[in-house]
Each structure stands twice: as C-alpha cells, then as structure tokens.
Chains A and B, each alone.
Chain A
Amino acid sequence: MMRFLLLFSRQGRLRLQKWFTPMMDREKKKIIRDMTTMVLSRQPRTCNFMQWKDLKIIYKRYASLYFCLAIESQENELLALEVIHRYVELLDKYFGNVCELDIIFNFEKAYFILDEFLMGGEIQETSKQIVNRSIDASDMLQETLEEYMSKPAF
C-alpha cells in the first residue's frame, strides 16, 4: 500500500499531506522534514526513487511542486510514478492548466480529487473520466444544498 503523499514547493512549503496510516503529529512533522530535505537535495538527472527506512520514496517534480509518494517495499515503483502522473492529470483537468497557486487557494478541492482517486493507501478508480465525473457531481451537489438532503441532522 501507499503510506503517504506529500506535495511541497521548491522552498519546502507544504501544499498537501495525505497520510494513509495513523501517525502522531510529531512523527508527521519529522517525516515532512526528512522528505523535503531528501528530495530537495537530489541532484538533477538522478532517478526518481530513493530508499528511506523500509519504504520506497517515489518523487517527481511538476513545475514548482514536488510530489512525494511513499510506498511499501512490495509495491511497483514504476507504477507509483504513473499514480503521481495520474493525479497531476486529474488536477490539470479540474483546474485547467493547474499551477501551484490553484492548489494553494483551493487545497480542499485537491483533497476531494485525491479522495476520489485513492483510498486507504490503494488506487480506488482507474478511469480518469469516472473520477472527473464524480468530482463534478459532488461539486454540483454542494451548490444545490438542502434539496438533496432528506435526512435531518440528528
């Protein structure tokens, strides 16, 4: 399974953090520090895989953002690169030529999209179109408020 996904800028500012196993806040902060240090100090033209403790770290840079995905040792690294790429494509489709600012100002949307693509550390939906359609439908639902709600709160 995947253990965590981090998005951060070239200055090391965190833009998104998704944790697929329960962890203390202190641990999360340490991991974020370790990952940003490790990834940002990588030379250009080196491979996108690193070993960190018992996990494999797959990272890729898209424009000004680094995508950093940690997977367990039995997972397929090349596929992990495809997972990152798929997420970028989904963001791109949603925001239209996505850039870091979109993710900063609409971070909750970035999470919603992620939550339609991955779940519990596994891939949830392999079709781009279905993910996009689900997000659009959810957004529509949000705008139409109570009409769809049949159950009272408590």
Chain B
Amino acid sequence: MSMSPSVPLQEMIRAIRSARTQCEERGVIQRECAAIRAQFRQADNGGRSHNLAKLLYVHMLGYPAHFGQMECVRMIASSRYSEKRVGYLGAMMLLDEKQDASLLITNSIKNDLSHSNQYVQSLALCTLACMGSAEMCRDLAPEIDRLLRASNSYIKKKAALCAVHIVRKVHELGELFAPAARSLLSEKNHGVLHGAVVLITELCERSSESLERFRKTVPDLVQIMKGLVISGYSPEHDVAGISDPFLQVRLLRLLRILGRNNETASDAMNDLLAQVATNTDSTKTVGNAVLYETVLTVLDIKSESGLRVLAVNILGRFLLNNDRNIRYIAMTSLQKIVGTDHNAVQRHRGTIVDCLKDQDASVKRRALDLSLALVSASNIRSMMKELLLFLSSCPPELRSQAANGIFTAAERYAPSKRWHIDTILHVLITAGGDVRDETVPNLIQLITNTSELHCYTVHKLYRALLSDISQQSLVQVACWCIGEYGDLLLRGDCQEVEPMQVCEDDVLDALETVLQSHMSSTATRGFALTATMKLSTRITDNVDRIRSIVSIYGSCIDLELQQRAVEYNALFKKYDHMRYAKKDSTHFCCCGVILFCSVNSFAFNVILGFMLLLTITFVSAPTAPTVTVYEKDGVTLTIVCEKQSDSAMTVTLTGFNSSDCDVSSFTLQAAVPKSVQLHMKAPSGDSLPAGGAAKVTQVVLLNNPNKVRLQNRQMLFIYLVCRGSTVQETVQVDSFPGL
C-alpha cells in the first residue's frame, strides 16, 4: 500500500489558509486527515511528530481529532525527544482525565519523571500538572515529593507546581508535601521560591493546621520580601525597576492569608507593608500591581489604623490615575471596604462621583455601585442630584440598577415627602421602563399616605402625562392618581405648582389618549379605564362621555378590558338614576366605594391588586352579619357593616388566607364620591400567613351627611393585577344583609 508522502506541517497550514471558502477548507482538511490516519497506521517512518502536529493544528481549527489520541500515547512512549515533546503536547490538548486513554500514559509519565534528561522530566511534570487525574496524582505523589527535595532548581520549581495540582485534586496529600514546602523557602532561586510560595499558599488555604504551622514562617517571608524591595538592580528579575514583581505579589498574598485574623502575624508584617506601600514606584503598571496587592493585604489583616489609612489613600490616588485599569481596580477595592471603612471611603466620594462620567462602561458601573453605597442622610441631596444626572445619560445596561438604587436610597434617606415624590417622579420620567414591577403599587401607597400632597402630586402627574405617555409605570400611576384625586385636579388651585386651568374634557382627553395609544400596555389601559370610571363619581358634566368610552371597550378585543368595561357599563345602567340624585330624596343613591388593595404573595411572586367596587347601602338593621365578598385560591375578604347613626356606618373588612402560601403586603384603599365622607383606619397588619394563622382587619368609617337612602342591592368588582399579567374578577352579591 503506497501512501502519498506526508506534507510537512507548514505546507499543510499554507494549503488550509489558501482555501477560499469554508467548503474548500473542509475538503483540504478531510484529505489531510485521511493521510494522517493512514500514516498513523504505518510503521514508524520518522515523520510521526509532524503528523501529530498537523492533527493538532486541525484540532485547533475546531475539527474532530479524537482518532489521534492513541497516537499521542504511542508518541509519549517513544524514545525520541521530538516525538515525546509533540506526544505530550497532544495529550494535553486531546486527552483529558475523563478519557481512558489518559490512564495509559500514567506509566510513561512515571518513567519519564525519573529520566536522566531534565527536559524529558520537564515534559512529564508539565503534563501531570496540566491533566493529572486523581488516581494519577495519588500514584505519583511520592515521586513528586522526592523531586521536591532532591533535584536541580529547574526540576524543583516544576515539581512544586505539580504538587500544587496534586493538592487541588487530592486534598489529603497536602500533608505529604508540607515539610518539603517549608524547606524550599530557603532556596535562592526565584522560580523555586515562587513555586514554594504558591504551594504553601495552597496548603494554608486548604487546612487550618497547615495555616497554623506556616504562620511561623512569617519572619522568613518578611525577610525574603525585604530583600526584593531594597535590593539593588537585578537584571534577571527586573521589570521596570521592580525586582521580581511576580514573586513580590505572591509573597504579599501569602502574608495576607497568614496575617488574617491573627494579631501576632499581622504585627510582624506591619513595617514591611508600610515600607512597600511607601517605596514602591507607582509610575508603571507593574509597580501599581505590587501596590494593589499590598493594599489588599493591609485591608485584610489586623493592621494598625495608620497603615489602613495609608492603604485607603493609595486607593484614592489610584482613582485619579490616568490609567483606567487602575481606576477600575481602585473602585472594586473601595467597594469591598465601603462597609468596614465607610468614613475613609467617604473622603473620596467626590472623585468617585466624578467617575460616573467616565467614558469606560466598566468604570461607570463600579462608580455607580460605590456611589449608591456612599449615600447617607447627610449627603442625600447632593448625591441624588448626581445620580439623577447620571440616570439621564447612563448606558442602557445600567439604567435598571441606577433607577432601583435611587429608589432604595430615596426611601431610606428622603429629607421630605415632597422630595421623595419628586425624586420618584423624576426617575419614572427618565427611566420608567427600567424600574421594578413593585414600583407602581409602592408609589401608589406612598402617594396615598401623603395626603397633604395629593393636590401637588396629581397636578405634577397630570402634566407628566400630557408630555409623555410612553413610560408605562409613570402612566399607570398618573392614571390612578387622576382617578383618585381628579377632583383636586379640576379644582385648579395648588400652591406648589404653576396654576393651570384643567377642565373635565382635558382630563378625559388625556385618559382617552392613553387608552387609544399603541404604546400603552394592557395593564396601563386597565388603569386608564378604571380611572375614567372612577371619575364618573367626581365629575358632573361629562358622564355621558365616560359612558361612551366605557361602552366602546365593551367590544374591545382584549378580554380583561372588555370584561371590565361590561361590568362598568352594567353599573351605569343599574344605578343611573341614583347617580344623578344629589339632593335628598326618598329614592336611592349609589355610593360607589372603590377599594384598591394590593397583595404580595411570596410563593407565587405575584402582586394582586384588588379593586372592589362595592355599593353599600345604608339601611338600619338590628344585627350585623358577616358577608363574604371575595373568595378565591384560599384568600377571603369579608365585611361586616354596622350602622352607627342614621348617617354613619362602620365597615369592618377582614382578610383571611387559608391557602398554602403566605400572602404579604395586603393593603386596602378606598375612595368615595363627594357626598360621602370616608375615613380608613390603620389596618391591623399587612400579611396573611398561610393556613389562616392570622387575619388582617381594617375598619372603614362612612358618613353620609346628606342622609340619602341607598338601595338594597350591591355589586362587587374585583380587580386583580398579577405581576406580568392582569386578572380581573367580578363578583355579584345580590344582597347585603344587615343593611
């Protein structure tokens, strides 16, 4: 069988590279692989290493090369160095510990570890450290220990890293290497020292006994480090004026581990750290790498306060460095200590805030994290200015974090309610699409509780709505507000905003625009429709318009809106005559009580908003029975109405949860038409634990001074908003006994 002569590696590479299309390349590679395969099957022809190398190249391009695995095994066992070299390389690239073939090379590695030639030993050590499985490690650990003690420095340094790999794979073997590691610290060769420090670090991180034992080496480590720092120029290890920065950094890291939580050890290294921190040249990256490691060590051990201040100041200097890499790591470090050394970090707040304007997105992100961590009661106003400025121009991937961070900060440190509301509005206007779902009910809650600002808030929100209806959360809150406090809006006067005459048509125009806009989500349309409906109890001249809006949505494609509109329509029809009865009469008056409650269920991660449209009638009754007005999925709402006088009544609402899931943030709100006064007392709580462990009760006082008699029929509307989807329920209660 004659085969085409194997093409040397570089010719093959050239051939592959000159392929003009992917298809052509595949063709070349298929031909080459076929030739390689054939060559593998042949007897030794002196070109084996070339063939394997070609296969490795093909593998790097992403083509399958597993048929070369056994060839690697054969090559490693060869007596030719060139073949061993490529064989071991192939093993590292094609084999991993999970494959059976890797076991086959264990014997070769064992033999090569005691080869007379150090470069062969080196190949074996390298491969073992790269892909040695746990069994191989156990098998060869004693051999590695032997090499750690008795060989030249070239082999010792490699054996040390092999030992590191073995310890990572088989933790118990750490014990074996500890004595050898200790004695390696007295070597002069930097490669060996470096390997020893890495090995000791690994041992200390894995076992507290090792940690205790190696703490005794702190004075030696300090000496070695001192030698590096104050030594003269050493051509072999110098990098931009720093003597062996790689070794210095590893020494500092080991010192950190040994000094952590230990006063004695920390004391012993204090002077050295101060010396390194002060004397290291910080004009080049390499010097800053050493300074950086020093700072990390100082901040992690039990260092004295002067040294800590020195370290934080180094970070502060880093923040002003032209090199953005240095600024970036300064901020990550400051982030780590902002909790423990808060005051020290606060001193650099100005620089940190300036980094919000940095060009680099990574630096910006770090600056945001840190700025939010530095907000406090004393700096909230100035910090918020900067954060809001940042929000208006920040990259899109940071908007959500910024918006939510601002909300948290505002909630914690708001100097006044109006400031708080203004801040939230500002965020919604700038980044309303990036805020969390709970923002809407939370803001509604905040607004409700700030009764002195209802007029201000509704005016501001109305104006915001006029200028932009694209931000869903803002639009939802605005609609809710208008529905709730529309009368304050129409009244026109409000001290803190510019006067603006708003008539009923204007308000309905705004809500209709939201309803009709393609930008409005279903939930938003729901809010707008509900607000429109609520206004029917607050306005006088445009009820017909409201009716027509509502009836249009009775044939809306969206099921939820349609259902809602239909129910509202029914309400209109039923109570139309009552609606217009303003003066006292012996006829009926409808008292529309709209209850809005939000329920936050842990298990389902759901926010439910109830909207109960209750019509309650005032009729005297001797007893006051409990009526269940809502019951679904284990959550129940009952009411008990008790007449207090011929114009006043108390309604006690009780929430109860018999399901398996806890319900939290259960709140109720109510709104009444002008003629009826309503006062909601504080609820007993806001959580409904599973299995009916506790209830929430809330008392509502209704006063009907116009003494209009109300009908004995009522309707109940339940509006549920689940996070992500709107669910609407309608319950009709035919009678309301006791009233």
* A123, CB-defined interface residue at 8 Å: yes
In contact, B194 and A112 (Cβ under 8 angstroms)? no
In contact, A142 and B198 (Cβ under 8 angstroms)? no
Closest A-B pairs by Cβ, 10 of them: A78-B289, A120-B129, A153-B79, A120-B165, A79-B289, A47-B324, A126-B246, A125-B191, A142-B82, A119-B161
Contact with A along B36-53 (1 / 0, CB 8 A): 000000000000000001
* A64, CB-defined interface residue at 8 Å: no
In contact, A141 and B119 (Cβ under 8 angstroms)? yes
- Determine the distance from Cα of A150 to Cα of B119 in the docked complex, in whole angstroms: 13
Contact with B along A1-26 (1 / 0, CB 8 A): 00000000000001111001011100
For window 50-92 of chain A, which residues contact chain B by CB distance below 8 Å? 50, 74, 76-79, 81-83
**Which B residues lie within 8 Å of A24 (CB)?**
96, 98
- Determine the distance from Cα of A148 to Cα of B82 in the docked complex, in whole angstroms: 11
16 contacts between A and B (CB under 8 A): A14-B61, A20-B130, A47-B360, A49-B325, A49-B329, A76-B249, A77-B325, A79-B249, A81-B285, A119-B125, A120-B165, A134-B154, A138-B85, A141-B119, A142-B82, A153-B79
Return B526 CB to nearest CB of chain A, in Å. Answer: 40
Contact with A along B695-710 (1 / 0, CB 8 A): 0000000000000000
* B264, CB-defined interface residue at 8 Å: no
**Which B residues lie within 8 Å of A17 (CB)?**
60
* A97, CB-defined interface residue at 8 Å: no
- Determine the distance from Cα of A15 to Cα of B62 in the docked complex, in whole angstroms: 11
- Determine the distance from Cα of A125 to Cα of B125 in the docked complex, in whole angstroms: 14
- Determine the distance from Cα of A83 to Cα of B245 in the docked complex, in whole angstroms: 10
- Determine the distance from Cα of A105 to Cα of B17 in the docked complex, in whole angstroms: 11
In contact, B329 and A77 (Cβ under 8 angstroms)? yes
* B86, CB-defined interface residue at 8 Å: yes
- Determine the distance from Cα of A82 to Cα of B327 in the docked complex, in whole angstroms: 17
**Which A residues lie within 8 Å of B17 (CB)?**
104
* A31, CB-defined interface residue at 8 Å: no
Contact with A along B267-309 (1 / 0, CB 8 A): 0000000000000000001101100110010000000000000
* A96, CB-defined interface residue at 8 Å: no
* Known contacts A22-B96, A46-B361, A82-B246; A129/B236 CB under 8 A: yes
Name the contact of A119 in the complex, choosing from B10, B116, B129, B253 (C-beta under 8 A): B129
For window 113-162 of chain B, which residues contact chain A by CB distance below 8 Å? 115-117, 119, 122, 125-126, 129-131, 154, 157-158, 161-162
Where chain B touches its partner, the secondary structure class is helix
In contact, B80 and A82 (Cβ under 8 angstroms)? no
Where chain A touches its partner, the secondary structure class is mixed
In contact, A152 and B239 (Cβ under 8 angstroms)? no
**Which A residues lie within 8 Å of B260 (CB)?**
none
- Determine the distance from Cα of A83 to Cα of B190 in the docked complex, in whole angstroms: 16
In contact, B363 and A124 (Cβ under 8 angstroms)? no
* Known contacts A124-B157, A130-B236; A47/B363 CB under 8 A: yes
* A122, CB-defined interface residue at 8 Å: yes
Return A146 CB to nearest CB of chain B, in Å. Answer: 7
**Which A residues lie within 8 Å of B325 (CB)?**
47-49, 77-78, 81
Return A19 CB to nearest CB of chain B, in Å. Answer: 8
**Which B residues lie within 8 Å of A119 (CB)?**
125-126, 129-130, 158, 161-162
**Which A residues lie within 8 Å of B253 (CB)?**
74, 76
In contact, B191 and A108 (Cβ under 8 angstroms)? no
Instruction: Please name the residue on chain B nearest to A148 by beta carbon.
Output: B117
Return B154 CB to nearest CB of chain A, in Å. Answer: 7
Instruction: Please name the residue on chain A nearest to B194 by beta carbon.
Output: A126
* A107, CB-defined interface residue at 8 Å: yes
**Which A residues lie within 8 Å of B327 (CB)?**
47
- Determine the distance from Cα of A83 to Cα of B565 in the docked complex, in whole angstroms: 68
Known A-B contacts: A47-B360, A125-B194. Give 4 more (CB < 8 A): A24-B98, A81-B285, A104-B13, A151-B115
In contact, B79 and A79 (Cβ under 8 angstroms)? no
- Determine the distance from Cα of A129 to Cα of B61 in the docked complex, in whole angstroms: 32
- Determine the distance from Cα of A149 to Cα of B158 in the docked complex, in whole angstroms: 21
* Known contacts A79-B245, A105-B13, A151-B79; A127/B288 CB under 8 A: no
In contact, B96 and A124 (Cβ under 8 angstroms)? no
**Which B residues lie within 8 Å of A15 (CB)?**
60
* B623, CB-defined interface residue at 8 Å: no
**Which B residues lie within 8 Å of A30 (CB)?**
none
In contact, A124 and B329 (Cβ under 8 angstroms)? no
**Which A residues lie within 8 Å of B77 (CB)?**
153-154
In contact, A46 and B292 (Cβ under 8 angstroms)? no
In contact, A127 and B363 (Cβ under 8 angstroms)? no
- Determine the distance from Cα of A136 to Cα of B382 in the docked complex, in whole angstroms: 63
In contact, B191 and A45 (Cβ under 8 angstroms)? no
In contact, B244 and A124 (Cβ under 8 angstroms)? no
In contact, A105 and B82 (Cβ under 8 angstroms)? no
Instruction: Please name the residue on chain A nearest to B239 by beta carbon.
Output: A82
For window 240-262 of chain B, which residues contact chain A by CB distance below 8 Å? 244-247, 249, 253
* B21, CB-defined interface residue at 8 Å: no
* B81, CB-defined interface residue at 8 Å: yes
For window 174-200 of chain B, which residues contact chain A by CB distance below 8 Å? 190-191, 194-195, 198
In contact, B79 and A146 (Cβ under 8 angstroms)? yes
**Which B residues lie within 8 Å of A79 (CB)?**
245-246, 249, 289, 293
**Which A residues lie within 8 Å of B245 (CB)?**
79, 82
* B390, CB-defined interface residue at 8 Å: no
**Which B residues lie within 8 Å of A45 (CB)?**
324, 359-360
* Known contacts A129-B236, A146-B79; A124/B195 CB under 8 A: yes
- Determine the distance from Cα of A124 to Cα of B116 in the docked complex, in whole angstroms: 21
In contact, A142 and B81 (Cβ under 8 angstroms)? yes
**Which B residues lie within 8 Å of A120 (CB)?**
129-130, 161-162, 164-165
- Determine the distance from Cα of A107 to Cα of B16 in the docked complex, in whole angstroms: 15
Contact with B along A92-133 (1 / 0, CB 8 A): 000000000000110110011001000110111111111000
- Determine the distance from Cα of A50 to Cα of B328 in the docked complex, in whole angstroms: 10
* Known contacts A48-B325, A120-B165, A129-B236; A82/B126 CB under 8 A: no
Name the contact of A23 in the complex, choosing from B96, B326, B360 (C-beta under 8 A): B96
* B56, CB-defined interface residue at 8 Å: yes
In contact, B249 and A149 (Cβ under 8 angstroms)? no
**Which B residues lie within 8 Å of A138 (CB)?**
85, 119, 122
* B493, CB-defined interface residue at 8 Å: no
- Determine the distance from Cα of A112 to Cα of B129 in the docked complex, in whole angstroms: 15
- Determine the distance from Cα of A114 to Cα of B505 in the docked complex, in whole angstroms: 77
For window 533-556 of chain B, which residues contact chain A by CB distance below 8 Å? none
Return A2 CB to nearest CB of chain B, in Å. Answer: 12
**Which A residues lie within 8 Å of B293 (CB)?**
76, 79
